[in-house]
Chains A and B, each alone.
Chain A
Amino acid sequence: MTGLNGTPHERRAVLLAAVILLQAVTAAFFVADVVADLAIDGALDDVHMWLEAVAAVALVGGIVFLMIELRRVLARMATLETVSQAARGDMAEVIDAFFTDWHLTPSERDVALMVLKGIDNDDIARIRGTAPGTVRAQCTAIYTKAGVESRAQLFSVFMEELLSGENEPPHPAG
């Protein structure tokens, strides 16, 4: 496993996964043992059986809890990757992913990118050789697909992505 020489998050994820496996194998033996006891003795006395049942449930519950924790660590790793990608100047890739997500058409992509670069509608129309009305219509379509209502809100979508690292600072830009 390469996680051992990766980031602290990766190491933590691998460790968590290993603990989950160990605990699960232990739980499997415990439950199997309880079942075997029941098969031999017919029925155990109530207190004993209840204790073992509670222990089994607790073990399995602990496994589920650890799994959810592992999922959180992994999700956090993915977020951090996006953030540091953006900080490294790979913002274009992040933007591209959003555009794909929104199902923008190729011309809408062009327009949206120019909007993000701060070019106003008239200039976009000139560059693309279309009527300003077309650009306005394309902008409206872009906003609708992105679920925003204005140019400023469109920017905020990407700002959010940059700031979503929560309290962990992104890697310093190279």
Chain B
Amino acid sequence: MTEAGISGAAAKPPQAATVRVWDPLVRLVHWSLALAIVLNATVVEDESLMHEVIGYAAVGLVLVRLLWGLIGTEHARFRAFPPNPVAAIRYLASHLSGRHQSHLSHNPAGALMAYNLWATVIGMGITGYMMGTVRFFGYDWVEELHEGLFTWLLISIGLHLAGVVLDTLVTRRPLVPAMFHGKKPKVKER
């Protein structure tokens, strides 16, 4: 037994090893929610029954995701991506200095965005429901809040997409495919 033979096994050549990060539930919720938002924002008539049905379904999707954040798989749980604005800002700043870290779950900035998107969808669901109730019927502020939240949702989605593009460019790691097949390249996690 030579020393080269011994250390050879420990120092394996780098290979394209992947690790499962996004489980099927996370991926299905993500794309179903995206579809629901696109449908309600574009082709489906406002104030139609379809609009309401899709809206409530979107809220249902978010609730599932929140429950999954409590009892789900490792990378899907809230404790894998706690809401932490300070860490998010530090993460964004690290992009500027070029010393970015890899995160298997959401990176701190992405985590904040995820919470923001879920909260906004739920807020839209609540205001949408209120618009249909006798009690709040005809109150302008409810409708204005619903529309304000929609504007905020559009801004957020824009930032979300920009963040994905930026992160992919800076870290040179494929982020989008991971939301399709669920796997990220194995890296040393910080």
A87 is an interface residue with CB less than 8 A from chain B? no
B49 is an interface residue with CB less than 8 A from chain A? no
A119: which of B1, B56, B135, B181 is its contact (CB, 8 Å)? B1
Q: In the complex the two chains form, what is the Cα distance from A92 to B78 in whole Å?
A: 32
Q: In the complex the two chains form, what is the Cα distance from A75 to B74 in whole Å?
A: 10
B111 is an interface residue with CB less than 8 A from chain A? no
Q: Report if A2-B6 is in contact (Cβ < 8 Å); known contacts: A27-B60, A67-B71, A119-B1.
A: no
Check A71–B1 contact: CB distance below 8 A. no
Instruction: Give the A-B pair count, Cβ closer than 8 A.
Output: 101
Inside 8 A of A71's CB, which chain B residues have their CB?
71-73
Inside 8 A of A24's CB, which chain B residues have their CB?
60-61, 63-64
Q: Report if A64-B67 is in contact (Cβ < 8 Å); known contacts: A2-B180, A14-B24.
A: yes
B140 is an interface residue with CB less than 8 A from chain A? no
A3 is an interface residue with CB less than 8 A from chain B? yes
A163 is an interface residue with CB less than 8 A from chain B? no
Inside 8 A of A27's CB, which chain B residues have their CB?
60
B25: which of A2, A17, A75, A110 is its contact (CB, 8 Å)? A17
A68 is an interface residue with CB less than 8 A from chain B? yes
Inside 8 A of B190's CB, which chain A residues have their CB?
none
Q: In the complex the two chains form, what is the Cα distance from A160 to B182 in whole Å?
A: 28
B28: which of A21, A74, A117 is its contact (CB, 8 Å)? A21
Instruction: Count A-side interface residues using an 8 Å CB cutoff.
Output: 41
A25: which of B20, B60, B72, B129 is its contact (CB, 8 Å)? B60
A142 is an interface residue with CB less than 8 A from chain B? no
B131 to chain A, nearest CB (A): 13
Inside 8 A of B135's CB, which chain A residues have their CB?
39
Inside 8 A of B63's CB, which chain A residues have their CB?
24, 28
A18 is an interface residue with CB less than 8 A from chain B? yes
B20: which of A40, A68, A78 is its contact (CB, 8 Å)? A78
- What are the interface flags for B4-16 relative to A under an 8 Å C-beta threshold, 1 for contact and 0 otherwise? 0011011010000
Q: In the complex the two chains form, what is the Cα distance from A24 to B65 in whole Å?
A: 10
- What are the interface flags for B125-157 relative to A under an 8 Å C-beta threshold, 1 for contact and 0 otherwise? 000010001110000000000000000000000
| CB-defined A-B contacts under 8 Å, sample of 24 | A1-B27, A2-B180, A2-B181, A2-B182, A13-B23, A14-B24, A20-B64, A21-B25, A21-B60, A21-B61, A24-B61, A25-B60, A28-B63, A39-B133, A40-B134, A67-B68, A74-B23, A92-B9, A96-B12, A109-B10, A110-B7, A113-B6, A113-B7, A117-B1
Residues of A within 8 A of B (CB): 1-3, 10, 13-14, 16-18, 20-21, 24-25, 27-29, 32, 39-40, 63-64, 67-68, 70-71, 74-75, 77-78, 81, 92-93, 95-96, 109-110, 113-114, 117, 119, 127
